[in-house]
Each structure stands twice: as C-alpha cells, then as structure tokens.
Amino acid sequence: MTDRIPGFATLAIHAGAQPDPTTGARATPIYQTTSFVFEDVDHAASLFGLQTFGNIYTRIGNPTNAVLEERVAALEGGTAGLAVASGHAAQVVVMHCLMQPGDELVAAKKLYGGSINQFNHAFKNFGWHVVWAEPDDIGTFERAVSPKTKAIFIESIANPGGVITDIEAIGKIAKDAGVPLIVDNTLATPYLCKPIDYGADIVVQSREKIRAQRRGLLLHVRTQRRLRRRRQARLQRQAVLPSR
C-alpha cells in the first residue's frame, strides 16, 4: 500500500493535531495553563537554550495555538507558522525581523485600506519607509527597488478591489533583488491560491476572513538556505546599484 498525500479537506480538519494519548479524545482542547512542567533542570536549560523543542510559557507558545499554526502552515505549503493577535500584528512582527530604521519596503498600491494606513503612518514610527508600486505595471516594482529595500509586499487578490496580482513575476524581481516576497493571502485563502508555489517567501493572512475568530496568522515559509541565497544576491546587487 502506497502512502497517500492528505488532501486539502483532510489537512483542514486534522493537520497539526493528534488524539489525546491518555483519553483518546479527537478534538484539541483549549490549554488554559500559563506554565509547563520540565523533566529536570537539564531539560529546562535545553528548552530555554533553544536546543530542544517544547513548551516553556504560554506567552511564547501554547499547544492549542500550535495546532492552528501547524494546520495553516500545512494548508499554505509552508514549513512553520506563528499565530498572533491580528493580521496587522502579523505584518509588524515580520517587518521587525527584516527592517531597521531607514530601511524601505516596496508595496503594491492596491492593498487592504488598513494595510495602506499602517504602511504610510504607523511604520513611520519605526523609521520604515514604504515605496509604492503599481501591480498592473510589474516594471514599477523593479524600478522601486533600491539598496535600502528589505522586502516586497503584495496581496494575492487585492482587498476589496479583487485585483489579481502576478505573484510569480514579482517573485522573480524579489529574487533578483535578494529580498523576501511577502504575500497577504487573506482574500484568496490557500484553497484558491498558494503563494509559496509561485515564489513567495512569507505569507500573512487575517483568519477572521475565513473563520469567526479574531486571530491573525504569520506564516514563515521556505528555508533559511533560500533566504541566505537572496541576501547574498542582494549584497552583490548593492555593489553595482547606485543609491537613489
């Protein structure tokens, strides 16, 4: 008997979850604990030293959240995920990992209005600057890239205009620039589109558009190896690209 690859419906129901080993319960419980038991001092040290994977404190990670993160990562075709309080929180978290004061973000002009306000106003408090590009003219993304660019941000299907963005073409521009392509996949959902398959490095989405719960999800996708290659390409590009 050959191993079967789970389909979308199976992943949507079961990915990330396992029956309770003690009771056999199928549904994932809501773990309301704040703390977790360590086997011994050495086990605690390995957890805090990031040498062993496991739960340390609910603010950092929780078994209930982990099921959501693993399930959506599986649906998107990613390697791991991080659940946060909102879609905007997800965008802040990913930018904090990529940007420093004075850095730039190239973003499509056709985005959810809240994201446009966040990029134009809130991000200025961190010293991050947005350079807008037109998704109907892919060349504007290439022209917007500079040595200060740290990421390119688009939506798979723009909300609320319904504009479909050429993820693959913009992904090639991001690859040449050595920066990650971030795709907001809220409106399309992984049922209709998996941006990773077309060159996205990071996927963000607001889960409230799919389910009746206020929870944003940030999906880190692809491997560090690929991101290292992009950083190397970016450094090589900076050597020949004049500053603006």
- pLDDT of res. 78: 83
> In order along the chain (244 residues), what is the average pLDDT of each group of 10 residues?
70 70 75 88 90 86 84 83 85 93 96 93 95 95 96 92 92 95 89 89 78 47 48 58 48
- pLDDT of res. 123: 95
Which residue intervals of 151-188 are DSSP H helices?
167-177
- pLDDT of res. 166: 94
- pLDDT of res. 207: 67
Exposure on the CB side of residue 131, measured as CA atoms within 13 A: 19
Query: Cβ(114)–Cβ(88) under 8 Å?
Result: yes
Strands (E), the chain: 80-84, 104-108, 129-133, 149-155, 181-184, 202-206, 216-220
Give the DSSP H or E segment for 13: helix 8-14
Q: Which domains does the chain have, with CATH numbers?
A: 66-238 (3.40.640.10)
CA 20 to chain centre: 29
- pLDDT of res. 108: 95
Taking the C-alpha atoms of residue 185 and residue 205, their distance in angstroms, rounded to an integer, is: 5
- pLDDT of res. 125: 93
- pLDDT of res. 229: 59
